[in-house]
Amino acid sequence: MTQVATKPTVFCDFDGTITAVETFAGMMKTFAPQLCAELLPQLYEKKITLREGVRQILESIPSSQYEAAIAFGDDKPIRPGLPELIDFLDHHNIPFHVVSGGLKGMVERVLQRENLLQRVASVTAIEVDPRQDKIIVPPQRFEGDTELVAKVKVIQHHTDGETIAIGDSLTDVNMAFYVDRIFARDRLVKYLETENKPYLPWNDFRDIHHTLQQQWDT
Ligand SMILES: [Mg+2]
């Protein structure tokens, strides 16, 4: 085994990346259908910010539905190869952080179900207060100008070394431009191609494992 020269840190999105479907958007569409029909298209076209749109949608959901909302991910599958990728990263002493623009309660619940919650270095996602009539989204620790969870701020908090990120959509665009290497799939590919930003394509975690293995184990 060749030692990795400078130890990178890996940052991974959750919705549509760890989960095989868009769990968070799906939850919002289920629990706030009208507002989502109005705001989600504007979000994807970048006419309103994620920060405004997501906060508005979440704060329209009654707190009595919070438990059901975070249970939305319970029957959603995760993409193959994640435990093996984390094993591989562990072997190289490389931390794997989960950074999500979704609900922290849902992210942790899915990772727990897969016995992966204890294996990730950290989980950063939206923290809400469900004790009032409606869900409240207080100021977030890593809130940015346009995002409730500014992934670049999270990355900067954890490392100033080499960075690798894994993502699939709009919430990953800013970190894609910040990190040293970005694994991109789905909608994120389109955003990056529009901007002529190079990326590593992936479909499931076995592809990422394979790419890193080729680089580090030979
Ligand atoms: Mg995503």
| Cα 17 to averaged position of ligand 1 atoms, centre (Å) | 5
Residue 73 lies inside a defined structural domain of this protein: yes
Q: What is the mean pLDDT of residues 161-172?
A: 94
Residue 78: Cβ within 10 Å count? 22
C-alpha torsion sign, points 94, 78, 81, 191: negative
| Cα 70 to averaged position of ligand 1 atoms, centre (Å) | 16
Residue 3 lies inside a defined structural domain of this protein: no
Residue 81 lies inside a defined structural domain of this protein: yes
Q: What is the mean pLDDT of residues 69-84?
A: 96
Which segments of 84-212 are extended strands (E)?
A: 96-103, 122-126, 163-167, 181-184, 200-201
CA dihedral 122→153→205→36, nearest 10 degrees, is 100
Q: Which of 167, 179, 35, 21 has its CA nearest to residue 100?
A: 167
pLDDT of residue 47: 93
pTM for the predicted model, two decimal places: 0.93
| Cα 1 to averaged position of ligand 1 atoms, centre (Å) | 33
Residue 4 lies inside a defined structural domain of this protein: no
| Cα 168 to averaged position of ligand 1 atoms, centre (Å) | 5
Residue 202 lies inside a defined structural domain of this protein: yes
Q: How crowded is the C-beta side of 146, counted as CA atoms within 13 Å?
A: 12
Residue 50: Cβ within 10 Å count? 20
Range of the domain at 71: 9-216
CA 21-25-27 angle, to 5 degrees, is: 95
Residue 120 lies inside a defined structural domain of this protein: yes
| Cα 12 to averaged position of ligand 1 atoms, centre (Å) | 9
Residue 2 lies inside a defined structural domain of this protein: no
| Cα 136 to averaged position of ligand 1 atoms, centre (Å) | 22
pLDDT of residue 3: 54
Whether residue 48 is predicted with pLDDT greater than 70 in this model: the reply is yes
CATH number reported for the structural domain that contains residue 196 in this entry: 3.40.50.1000
pLDDT of residue 22: 85
Beta-bridge mates of residue 96: 10
Q: How many domains does the chain have?
A: 1
Q: Which of 180, 132, 147 has its CA nearest to residue 50?
A: 147
pLDDT of residue 191: 94
| Cα 132 to averaged position of ligand 1 atoms, centre (Å) | 28
| Cα 172 to averaged position of ligand 1 atoms, centre (Å) | 7
| Cα 185 to averaged position of ligand 1 atoms, centre (Å) | 10
C-alpha torsion sign, points 146, 190, 166, 177: negative
- What would the pLDDT profile of 1-36 be if each residue is shown by its tens digit? 555 557 899 999 999 999 999 899 999 999 999 999
Residue 1 lies inside a defined structural domain of this protein: no
| Cα 170 to averaged position of ligand 1 atoms, centre (Å) | 7
| Cα 50 to averaged position of ligand 1 atoms, centre (Å) | 12
pLDDT of residue 2: 54
